[in-house]
Amino acid sequence: AFGTMTWKYGSLLYSHATSGLAVMAAVALILRWQTCEVSKTSQVFLGLLLGTSVLMEYTNIVFVVLVGSYWLVGRIANSPYRRRQIVLFAIGGLIPALFLMWYNTVNFGGPLKLSTFNADTTRWPQNLSFFADFATPIWVGLPAMLFYGSDNQGLFWLAPISLLGLAGLQGLWRRSRREFALIVGCFTAMLLLFSTSTTFNPYTNDGRYITPFLGLWFVVVGFGISWLQSRLEAAPTISLISFFPPLIIYGLLFLSIRNQILHIAFSWGHDLNPAMLRPWAAAPENIAALWSAVFPNALNLPLWWGVLAAGWLAWRLWQERGQAAELESLKH
């Protein structure tokens, strides 16, 4: 997260952070539950989680269709209580769907009228319709989403550490083809969808939409790191080859962090002004200007840490009190 777009968009008033939480939570629960007994409450909760993800970002409906189909076909279809489970799953999904339709009706005059297409179309002409919003040719948008194009900074450009996912695809495939289909399939589908978007600009206006699904790709990155580590373990203890795996991993990580720092500092709302910088790169004034641009709300951190510390202390006191009560009961 520190070396990807999640750093920036997880701290802004966008829905991408909570959307990412819903996406990864749904995938994690499906992977956990596909081999164990699932209660009625679990079915409702999973449907509720997937439905809520659409409230956060409309385009998550594509993800919901893919994941919901995977769950229904792979897990519920083999259950003797499949009808009941399908109904419970649907109820969970309908609760946020009904809320969204009510919201659209109150604000825009109809249950299927989305806020995206009720924006100022003189300022954002791509919001005239769905087909206007997703009209970029895939051969133009995909390179821009992955690398660079149309002034859009792509995933591998902003986070070179994500390149290790290319080396991890085979590892995930060997582990489980079903999990590969779920994880890589969902990421690829959303990547292709946003590659057809029409709002490319230098500040990754399109690239940020893939942020909730970065966690899916970084599962594959984990397999890539494991593959490099296996090369390290197979190499002689003292050899030139043994230096390459950690050099690649940490080199790409720190390059990703560097790219994120610059991306955040020069983006809208942070606005680092190069004209104010001194000629010496490492001048204290330059470092102060850079970090104040990247962390404009740094003074809030002590307050947040204080809340965390108070919560941790209260939890520890409650835990110790429970242990003391348990010891006292054992004595009696």
How confident is residue 225, by pLDDT bands cut at 50, 70 and 90?
very high
**Phi and psi at residue 100, to the nearest 5°:** -65, -40
Give how far Cα 7 sits from Cα of 116, 199, 207, 252, Å.
25, 21, 13, 16
223 token code pair: 């397999």
**Rg for the chain (alpha carbons), in Å?**
24
Residue whose tokens read 């970029």: 136
pLDDT digits (tens, 9 = 90+) for 7-56: 777 766 668 888 899 999 999 999 888 777 777 788 889 999 999 999 88
Q: In this structure, what DSSP letter does residue 149 have?
A: E
Residue 305 has pLDDT above 80, yes or no: yes
**Phi and psi at residue 195, to the nearest 5°:** -70, -15
Contacts of 219 (CB under 8 A, 6+ apart): 172, 183
Rounded CA separation 50/207 (Å): 22
Q: Which residues of 124-146 are buried (b: 16+ CB within 10 A; e: fewer)?
A: eebbeeeeebbebeeeebbebbb
212 token code pair: 């909730």
Mean pLDDT on 180-185: 94
pLDDT digits (tens, 9 = 90+) for 226-282: 998 887 777 666 666 677 888 888 999 999 999 888 888 887 777 788 888 888 878
Model-level pTM?
A: 0.82
- Residue 140's nearest CA partner among 127, 126, 155, 151 is 151
Q: Which residue has the higher pLDDT, 46 or 301?
A: 46
Residue whose tokens read 């242990």: 323
104 token code pair: 């659209």
Inter-residue contact 85 to 72 (CB < 8 Å): no
Q: Considering Cα of 188, then 153, then 265, then 291, what sign does the dihedral take?
A: positive
Rounded CA separation 85/72 (Å): 9
- Residue 45's nearest CA partner among 189, 53, 17, 183 is 53
Inter-residue contact 212 to 16 (CB < 8 Å): yes
What integer pLDDT is reported at residue 262 of this predicted model? Answer: 86
- Residue 189's nearest CA partner among 34, 70, 307, 98 is 70
- Residue 53's nearest CA partner among 275, 256, 213 is 213
What integer pLDDT is reported at residue 13 of this predicted model? Answer: 61
Q: Considering Cα of 259, then 265, then 269, then 272, what sign does the dihedral take?
A: negative
